[in-house]
């Protein structure tokens, strides 16, 4: 499923709390209706980013995808900013 | 059966009384609007009191603080007693972990108490932190400060431990005491002692 992200944030190799903290930073820089892709290797980011998006005004979690890239588990999150 | 409401009978209100009540309702409505706008405008707030200065206990306040900031909270961490070590630029890089009295560590107390053992357990923990991609204390402090977390160093303990204000990371608030921490806690939605 392609989400056509406007920005991609790479937080591979970073553990809690960094994926959420950096997602927040990148989300703040996002323009209206733009989509942020977050690529993480921290499996905890699945529930952490879901919870963060739920509690954050203007953030919509479009999708979360689990994949294997270059032999490592990656977790991708797609977050859209409201108008 | 009469459906007529009897004007002027007992229990009914005079025009003057109605006007008074209306004025009171208006007054309360405006007060409620003030309260609602106050609650709606100000972000939620968390205060953590950090009192521990071991390597393991440096993490919970810093992780929670930076996470809460990402959730849009105003965060204050008030560091007192050994919690000051976390903000001390030099000492924060050498925080120790001891196995003594810690049944979760795989070393018996009798051995853990031997000279140099704290260094060994600390090294083990540091290796684990690195292997598991966990951020260093230093980088969590920087992240917290960058996220707008107010990291405060208790002035009384700075004096007690004979530290200087320049010993702490740039951006750390000094010159604060229990009263300001308490005031922050009164207004906070979450208060934690770590």
pLDDT value, residue B107: 86
pLDDT value, residue B12: 84
pLDDT value, residue B101: 87
- Hey, what CATH topology would domain A7-81 get? Translation Initiation Factor IF3 (3.30.110)
**CA–CA dist B174, B172 (Å, integer):** 6
Of A16, A42, A56, the CB nearest to B71: A56
Superfamily of domain B44-193 in CATH is DsrEFH-like (3.40.1260.10)
**CA–CA dist B119, B124 (Å, integer):** 9
B31 by Cβ neighbours in 10 Å (0-12 / 13-18 / 19+) ranks as: exposed
pLDDT value, residue B108: 87
Spell out the alpha helix ranges (H) of chain B: 15-41, 55-70, 84-87, 109-112, 117-131, 137-146, 155-160, 178-187
Q: Spell out the residues 6+ positions from residue B42 whose beta carbon is closer than 8 angstroms to its own.
A: none
Reply yes or no on whether the pLDDT at A10 is more than 50: yes
* pLDDT tens-digit series, residues A40-55: 999 999 999 999 999 9
Name residue A11's beta-bridge partners: A40
Residues of chain B with pLDDT under 50: 2
**CA–CA dist B128, B117 (Å, integer):** 17
Query: Is residue B133 within 8 Å of B154, Cβ to Cβ?
Result: no
Selection from B110, B140, B107 nearest residue A17 by Cα: B140
Give ipTM to 2 decimals.
Answer: 0.84
Confidence band, pLDDT 50/70/90 cuts, at residue A1: very low
What does the DSSP 8-state code read for residue B88? Answer: B
Report the residue of A9, A10, A17, A75 to disrupt the B interface, i.e. the one with the largest count of B CBs within 10 Å: A17
pLDDT value, residue B9: 53
* pLDDT tens-digit series, residues B131-157: 988 999 999 999 999 999 999 999 999
- Hey, which residues of A are catalytic here? 16
What is the domain partition of chain A in residue ranges? 7-81
What is the domain partition of chain B in residue ranges? 14-42, 44-193
Confidence band, pLDDT 50/70/90 cuts, at residue A83: confident
CB contact under 8 A, B66 and A17: yes
């Amino acid at each position: 499923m392609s989400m056509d992200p406007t920005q991609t944030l790479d937080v591979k190799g970073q553990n809690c709390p960094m994926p959420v903290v950096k997602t927040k930073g990148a989300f703040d820089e996002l323009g209206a209706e733009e989509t942020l892709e977050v690529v993480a290797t921290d499996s905890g980011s699945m529930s952490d980013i879901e919870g963060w998006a739920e509690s954050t005004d203007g953030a919509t979690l479009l999708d979360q995808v689990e994949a294997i890239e270059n032999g490592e588990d990656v977790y991708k999150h797609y977050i859209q900013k409201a108008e | 059966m009469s459906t007529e409401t009897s004007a002027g009978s007992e229990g009914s209100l005079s025009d003057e009384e109605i006007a008074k009540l209306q004025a009171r309702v208006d007054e309360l409505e405006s007060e409620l609007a003030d309260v609602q706008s106050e609650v709606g405008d100000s972000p939620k707030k968390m205060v953590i009191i950090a009192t521990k200065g071991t390597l393991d206990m440096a993490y919970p306040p810093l992780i929670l603080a930076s996470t809460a900031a990402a959730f849009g909270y105003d965060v204050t961490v008030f560091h007192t007693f050994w919690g000051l070590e976390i903000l001390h630029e030099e000492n924060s890089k050498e925080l120790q972990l001891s196995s003594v009295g810690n049944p979760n560590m795989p070393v018996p107390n009798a051995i853990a108490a031997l000279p140099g053992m704290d260094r060994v357990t600390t090294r083990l923990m540091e290796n684990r932190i690195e292997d598991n991609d966990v951020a260093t204390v230093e980088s969590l402090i920087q992240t917290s400060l960058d996220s707008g977390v107010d990291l405060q160093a208790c002035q009384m303990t700075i004096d007690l431990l004979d530290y200087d204000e320049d010993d702490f990371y740039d951006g750390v608030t000094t010159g604060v005491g229990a009263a300001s921490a308490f005031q922050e806690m009164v207004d906070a939605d979450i208060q934690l002692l770590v």
